[in-house]
Amino acid sequence: MSAVDVPQHLGLGGRVAGEFAARPGPRRLANLAMRWVAVAGAAAAGLAARNPFHPHASTVMVLSLMFGAFAFVGLAVRRARITIEAGGVRWGWTWLGVRMERERIRAVDVYADAIALRPRRGSAWFLSARDWERYDAMTRAVTRAGFTVTTHARTAPLAAKLQSYGRVLDGLMLAAILGSSLLVAAAASF
């Protein structure tokens, strides 16, 4: 079984029960972080290039690239979409994605703040309400797609909350903004 599937427009999936994007606030933060880090990284690299033989000039260049990579990953993850259909659940972009086929899904647990897709083998996928917009529609889409759903009146267990990447990703975006800003200040000092 391959983890990478074909684009959606080739018609190999089932009828789409719902497609969901990241929440608007985290998407805006990722966009802001990418722009901020690109400008600050270019400024820091330009300032470091004025004095290329300074002992920390190469560090500034490498850190500029590192913060740029963090921001790029955050932006890419926030632009990914979840598609729920009768044939399975897909996470990714139109040109690349990861799919959990229906035959592989053993159980679907819906909590007040997360959906757990439990496969027959491997680790579960947790779709957190904090990460995805229209969470209530997402819970209905899982049922509409024909999955056997067990609804729990409580919040998701700790394991689901730990797999929810939203807070960590937002923290990484804020760290990239702060780090690239400090990098400009450091590069300006030598």
**Interval 39-56: pLDDT, tens:** 999 999 999 999 888 889
Range from 31-45, 50-64, 157-171 that averages highest in pLDDT: 31-45
State how far the Cα of 56 lies from the Cα of 161, in Å rounded to an integer: 39
- In-domain check, residue 29: yes
75 neighbors 85 (Cβ within 8 angstroms): no
- In-domain check, residue 50: yes
**Per-residue model confidence as pLDDT tens digits over 1-22:** 455 555 544 445 567 889 999 9
64 neighbors 183 (Cβ within 8 angstroms): yes
- In-domain check, residue 138: yes
Could you give the residue ranges of the DSSP H alpha helices within the chain? 24-50, 57-79, 135-144, 158-163, 166-188
Q: How many domains does the chain have?
A: 1
- In-domain check, residue 8: no
- In-domain check, residue 158: yes
Whole-model pTM: value is 0.82
Domain that holds residue 61: 15-188
- In-domain check, residue 23: yes
